[in-house]
A = this chain, B = another copy of it.
């Protein structure tokens, strides 16, 4: 299958590259050419897409989410994190089953597509059903275990790790992880650390989301969550830490030493009143930051444009510095760093040999005009409305407001409503 996307302005997101007019060729699920328009020689096109001078760039990577939580959207708002978890989230999650999870995940995938998100790093239950939703829709998915004292075993994580990393196409992959320091015993964490050592693998986990969590860890260990988990050997092979709102100088040193990726979730952190992560400080320390939407129960939407504006807007205000976190850094977080934070090193840039995960951004909308600095327009004024096409592994899954999935959009909405009502009553 040979596809040509021509008449586009290309932003590869390679280091130092700026936008240029050209075309991109795709062979099966891989990019085979990126550059100026050129003769196609003996290549026969199965599909040609006229980009109409719009912007082609790598898809956004949602580096932290709980996709299946769509069923709790706008159901449990305006509550404190611990109350929210214990009263509204945990009891209703207990009623989930694989079939529900399948449809709730499909709904999330559709929303990702409308926001130009081509891969998600998901931490949730019923991974096999989530995987089925990703496979059926053609979405790229990375799973991460969320075991804790209430469920899951180290052996189970190892089985998942071996089982879910067999997909040669890398549409589905898996990384070692657990829920959080405050929900997981030392023994379980030591088991995870041993597993990470065995496979020389990084560990992903929620970390320092709330002040209460950090204080709790200090009270029992005398250390911050980052330092305590590091002392158990969890980050010997790197890691990806979700949230990182409340950090100290020791934390920064550990993040740098271990080559850890931070995933920031600004909308969720605002909405749950968790705080504002020190993104400008991470940048100054050269700690790589990726961006996640977090789950739809806390956010409540899955919109990379909103997150991108928040990442820079909030830092400008809290640092009292309008120069904080420039637009191009935010785009790097949403694409390149996101890919690395979830282990998708083949999905970071729009370059020959990389996976064909890309988006076409409509520049012929009032919010993108006049065209003076498209990168800044994307971060400061972009919206879901600008996503003209979302392509994953060479397949167009969303174009001009229409979904190209294995079932009609209406079926997903109907199932999601029905199953949500069944759970929530």
List of B residues within 8 angstroms of A380 by Cβ: 74, 77, 271, 299-301
List of B residues within 8 angstroms of A420 by Cβ: 370, 372
Chain B proximity mask over A48-76: 1 for CB below 8 Å, otherwise 0: 00000000000000000000001101110
Given contacts A74-B372, A413-B369, contact A384 B381 (CB under 8 A): no
List of B residues within 8 angstroms of A256 by Cβ: none
Which interface residue of A322, A401, A409, A417 has the most chain B CB atoms within 10 A?
A322
Given contacts A300-B376, A370-B71, A420-B372, contact A322 B79 (CB under 8 A): yes
Chain B proximity mask over A283-303: 1 for CB below 8 Å, otherwise 0: 000000000000010011111
A323–B76 CA distance with the chains assembled, in angstroms:
11
Give residues 67-102 of A contacting B (CB, 8 Å).
70-71, 73-75, 77-81, 84
Given contacts A267-B313, A269-B317, A301-B380, contact A416 B370 (CB under 8 A): yes
Across the A-B interface, the 4 shortest Cβ-Cβ residue pairs = A301-B381, A270-B313, A111-B366, A74-B376
List of B residues within 8 angstroms of A364 by Cβ: 409-410, 413
List of B residues within 8 angstroms of A395 by Cβ: none
Contact A273 B321 (CB under 8 A): yes
Interface residues of A, Cβ cutoff 8 Å to B: 70-71, 73-75, 77-81, 84, 107-108, 110-111, 114, 267, 269-276, 296, 299-303, 305-306, 309-310, 312-314, 316-317, 319-324, 326-327, 364-367, 369-374, 376-377, 380-385, 401, 409-410, 412-413, 416-417, 420-421, 424
Given contacts A364-B409, A380-B77, A383-B383, contact A371 B417 (CB under 8 A): yes
Contact A273 B322 (CB under 8 A): yes
List of B residues within 8 angstroms of A319 by Cβ: 273
Contact B73 A377 (CB under 8 A): yes
Which residue on chain B has the smallest CB distance to residue A312?
Answer: B271
Contact A381 B108 (CB under 8 A): no
Contact A70 B369 (CB under 8 A): yes
A310–B271 CA distance with the chains assembled, in angstroms:
10
Contact A322 B71 (CB under 8 A): no
Contact of A271 among B267, B269, B322 (CB under 8 A): B322
Contact of A309 among B267, B314, B367, B369 (CB under 8 A): B267
Contact A370 B326 (CB under 8 A): no
Contact B272 A70 (CB under 8 A): no
29 sampled A-B residue pairs with Cβ under 8 A: A70-B366, A73-B369, A73-B377, A73-B381, A74-B372, A74-B377, A74-B380, A77-B322, A77-B380, A78-B322, A78-B326, A79-B322, A81-B322, A84-B322, A111-B366, A111-B367, A114-B365, A114-B367, A114-B385, A267-B313, A271-B316, A273-B316, A296-B381, A299-B381, A300-B380, A301-B383, A364-B409, A366-B413, A385-B385
A149–B56 CA distance with the chains assembled, in angstroms:
47
A370–B71 CA distance with the chains assembled, in angstroms:
7
Q: How far is the CB of A379 from chain B (nearest CB, A)?
A: 9
Contact B417 A381 (CB under 8 A): no
Which residue on chain B has the smallest CB distance to residue A374?
Answer: B74
Contact A366 B108 (CB under 8 A): yes
List of B residues within 8 angstroms of A71 by Cβ: 370
Which residue on chain B has the smallest CB distance to residue A418?
Answer: B370
A273–B320 CA distance with the chains assembled, in angstroms:
5
Given contacts A80-B322, A385-B383, contact A369 B270 (CB under 8 A): no
A372–B296 CA distance with the chains assembled, in angstroms:
13
List of B residues within 8 angstroms of A77 by Cβ: 322, 327, 373, 376, 380
Q: How far is the CB of A80 from chain B (nearest CB, A)?
A: 6
